[in-house]
Structure 1
Amino acid sequence: MGRPVAVTQGDPAGIGPEITRAAWRALKDGGPVFFVIGDPSLYGPDAAGIAAPSDASGTFQRALPVLPSRLAVPARPGVPDGRNAPATVSSIERAVGLTVAGDACGVVTNPIAKSVLREAGFTHPGHTEFVAELTADLPVDGARGPVMMLAGPSLRVALVSIHLPLREAIASLDAARIQRVARVTNEALKRDFGIESPRLALAGLNPHAGENGHIGREEIEIITPAADALRADGLDIAGPLPPDAMFHAEARAGYDAAICLYHDQGLIPLKALDFWNGVNVTLGLPIVRTSPDHGTAFDIAGKGIARADSLIAAIKLAADMGRRRGV
């Protein structure tokens, strides 16, 4: 049996604790095995404390393995408290550290509230950048990320820009960044997804992919030169393609991942197709990191109605990626 997956606590006032319990109930008989780093009080009678990740496999069928990380104050569902921010951050740091040490095959991060963490001094835009910083001194097999990919049963999208206002995302667009994202994605599809000869599709920016410069010149001046350079280096990449015509079923059959230029260009089709089963994957890291593709959902926390589908998919994908890396 391979090493377990390390799951972080996330914001203790969000839906993380209840979807983690639900994920354990769904996976306890067939796996993959995981443990959560968090305050045992969040997980109720389903939980059993463990002293080390190696204890998870012997515990998993009878109880949710919890590696204790205490909160500063009791959590109230739906009411985030900045005093618990250090415990949220510590859970991420410990999960990454245990994975780097080889005690876990990958990290799955439960949702955090970035506004709550920022008030406590957290300076990173999100998990993606934080995990990248924590592993910055470690070698990467291939091109270095981080690159954010959203992966679902019907579509994978990798993003050239992530959490930027649209105006800034367009202004920051350059050929070098497009090429880096495409190279990281191409290598990750081989290493982490088992696709021997990846096929990529590069989205255009403007309506009709610019229509030969009549509706914007970014395709001519930035995007097409990037695609041409990638093709010259042997990558199988189509585009730039009109964004409104590249996500229907017949079009998706022609590629393994889409390279999208800004956040909503990729996430709108992904969530329209695979809302419950989308997984956030960070590509180009020395460790495996996935996450459910949703937020803390404070408005429904503690009501027993949160769905664990995306977290379950994230745990399964992390275990698969770890297996392919031989962890």
Structure 2
Amino acid sequence: MTDRETEVTMEVKNETTIQEFVLEGFPAVQHLGKVLFLVHLLAYLASITGNMVIITITWVDHRLQTPMYIFLSTFSFCESCFITTVIPTLLSIFLSGRQTIPFTACLTQAFAFLFLGSIIFFLMAVMSLDRHLAICKPLRYPTVMNLRVSFLLVFFCYSLSFIFITGLLVQVSQLSFCGPNVISHFFCDLGSLIHLSCSDTRSVEIYIFFLALLVILISLILTFIAYSNIIVTIVHLPSAKERQKAFSTCLSHLIVLSLMYGSCVFTYVKPKQTNRLDSNREAALVNTVVTLLLNPVIYTLRNKQVHQALRDTLSRVRL
């Protein structure tokens, strides 16, 4: 190839490089856009309000400044940030039909989504282990799990997630996008984004697959082991009332865990990132709206200690 041909090829490539993407959303139900906008806006506000209540009362009431509630308040903070990375975009799509997003903003949204999502999974595993120690090893719990250890575990969750997701985004940022620019999703999902690349994406797909295995399945295994031991301990409780109460709480937790883990395993723990884009949208919607709306209620707001702390906080505000 001559120098002139090389120069022309480079010019064509530069002219066809994608500078922005179009988020398709849910075109099949776009005629219900205003209704869906209202429903998801209310769900978003309810989730944010519930999580903010949890964070506030945890840091205001000294009785809740224990490892369990430190984890829960951190979990609520990450949930609020997580849902905020995608729901405003979804609301805009319901109103306008489609949404354009610059390439840099798309990568930023993908990073925030995966970074916060990974932290949430790590925190779920940590909280499960915390409950396992509290229920199965109550005498050792105060010495093993203190505030210093809980803050170190939170820092570990953040650091590990940052390292993993930064490595992934560096690989994705090096891909070339020179063809279609319509993402079949309501946010910059990496699977849908990679599907549009005109580069060889096999190494990135393999990285995503093993990263999903590491983050999702390892946290799932730790959570399963912890709750299995908790259930065994509950079975041996002498009081039927105590067993019923404990099983009710565990069942609620497991419903949310099943929704979150199930939708994420379905979406990410597959070696091939194509031919499943439509189903990914529904799974992601369940994960970002339904599950995150239920979590504040199930994890904390049903807790009697939280109810009492909330009543005391409100009474102090009135005075």
Give TM-score scaled by structure 2 length. Answer: 0.28
Larger radius of gyration: 2
Structure with the higher fraction of residues in strand conformation: 1
Structure with the higher fraction of residues in helix conformation: 2
